[in-house]
Amino acid sequence: MPSLPHEHYDLHTYLHVPESHVWPSSHLHDHPTAAGAGEIPVVDIFGPDAASLVGAACRSPGAFYATGHGVSPRLLGDVESLARRLFSLPLRRKLLVSRRPGSVSGYGRPPLSSFFPKFMWSEGFTLVGDPLRFASLLWPHRHHFFCEVMEEYMKEMKKVGERVMRLMLLSLGLDEEEVDGIGAVAELARAAEALQLNSYPACPQPERAIGMAAHTDSGFLTVLHQSAGAGGLQVLREDGGSGLCRWVAVPPRPDALVVNVGDLFHLLSNGRFKNVRHRAVVNRFDHRVSAAYFIGPPDHLKIGPINKLVDMGLGPIFRPVTWPEYLGLRTRLFDKALDALKLHN
Ligand SMILES: O=C(O)CCC(=O)C(=O)O
Ligand SMILES: [Fe+2]
């Protein structure tokens, strides 16, 4: 295999998993994997009781299937087929838009790669802001459709995110007026957002590799669309109070998007909502793609535990932080970043 710039690997071409991508089994099997699905709550986000169902799901496991979201199957299909088209381009073309140091946007390995000694079996493309400058490099003569679809998708995701965030806050005991008064929601129209397209090529030895290593998402919440087929997303679920954890599969459902609670919502809820640990495993036959839409506060906004929740409990658990400050902490401490914000230990 000829070496490629920037240590990029063309994962679509391997017959064996190269040593660089083989993960120790102690890491892959850190917890047992649940055989059956059906453990992830399903919530119609415009249905009766939506707020209390969302609240229960966000306490545990910290993820749920959102149905009734109103995003058209046509748009979801377009995003998926454009993601496939992008990742099927020759590697050298994809590298024209590779993520530059210090920048979030662009093509490359998953941003969390830097925390692990082994490479993951995936590639990603992250979009913040206008897709045009990337799309025009990828498809010099035919980029309009890509731009239109991605822009429409981000708008729709923002609506879903806004709805879910409102339900989350209502379920915490805030009333509609208070929800509107919270900077985080009032400013959601200006919220920071990023769309990450993920590609997990079929893997010749899936039991030796990992698509996306275990992590939590850093923002408020993530809305994920995954392609139909074998699936791969798993969330870590604690068995009621026993302290034992299992990886539970979250297979694709045609009617649902998956919502994950992120670190900053855990902080905002003063620890009530679980920032769910999740990962993506790979499979032998299916080229899986997913689109993860991350929502977080605007850069300047300090996020701390909501006052009302603090008054109802033992006082704030965390000190306030902006999203960029928090990302800086994650870069240094990865999954210990939230601990560093704890006020009492
Ligand atoms: O592809 C998936 O199922 C998970 C993606 C993910 O966790 C992420 O992009 O942060
Ligand atoms: Fe994630």
Give the tens place of pLDDT for each residue, 196-224.
999 999 999 999 999 999 999 999 999 99
Taking CB atoms and a 6 Å cutoff, what residues make up the pocket around ligand 1? 196, 198, 212, 217, 224, 226, 232-233, 278, 280, 290, 292
User: Average pLDDT, stretch 121-138?
Assistant: 91
The answer to whether position 269 is within a domain reads yes
The answer to whether position 4 is within a domain reads no
Q: By the 8 A CB rule, do 279 and 210 touch?
A: yes
Query: Of all residues in the chain, what percent carry a pLDDT higher than 90?
Result: 68
The reported pLDDT for the residue numbered 338 is 95
The answer to whether position 323 is within a domain reads yes
pLDDT band at residue 32, thresholds of 50, 70 and 90?
confident
- Give residue for tokens 């709550």: 41
The answer to whether position 286 is within a domain reads yes
Q: Which residues are catalytic?
A: 288
The reported pLDDT for the residue numbered 102 is 78
The answer to whether position 171 is within a domain reads yes
pLDDT at 226 over 70: yes
User: Average pLDDT, stretch 299-303?
Assistant: 89
User: Average pLDDT, stretch 300-308?
Assistant: 89
The reported pLDDT for the residue numbered 177 is 81
Q: By the 8 A CB rule, do 270 and 343 touch?
A: no
Q: Are strands 221-226 and 212-215 parallel, antiparallel or unpaired?
A: unpaired
Q: What is the ipTM of this complex?
A: 0.99
* Cα 215 to middle of ligand 1, angstroms: 9
The answer to whether position 7 is within a domain reads no
pLDDT band at residue 240, thresholds of 50, 70 and 90?
confident
Q: How many domains does the chain have?
A: 1
The reported pLDDT for the residue numbered 151 is 95
DSSP category for residue 339: G
The answer to whether position 201 is within a domain reads yes
Q: Using CA atoms, how far apart are residues 149 and 146, in angstroms rounded to an integer? A: 5
pLDDT band at residue 118, thresholds of 50, 70 and 90?
very high
The reported pLDDT for the residue numbered 37 is 59
pLDDT at 140 over 90: no
Question: Which residue has the CA at smallest separation from atom 3 of ligand 1?
Answer: 233
Q: What is the CATH number of the domain that holds 208?
A: 2.60.120.330
Domain holding 62, by residue range, is: 20-341
Omega prior to 61 cis, within 30 of 0: yes
Residue scoring higher pLDDT (259 or 12): 259
The reported pLDDT for the residue numbered 182 is 63
In this structure, the chain runs to a length of: 345
Query: Of all residues in the chain, what percent carry a pLDDT higher than 70?
Result: 94
pLDDT at 312 over 90: no
pLDDT band at residue 4, thresholds of 50, 70 and 90?
very low
**Closest ligand to residue 293's CA:** 1
The reported pLDDT for the residue numbered 35 is 66
The answer to whether position 8 is within a domain reads no
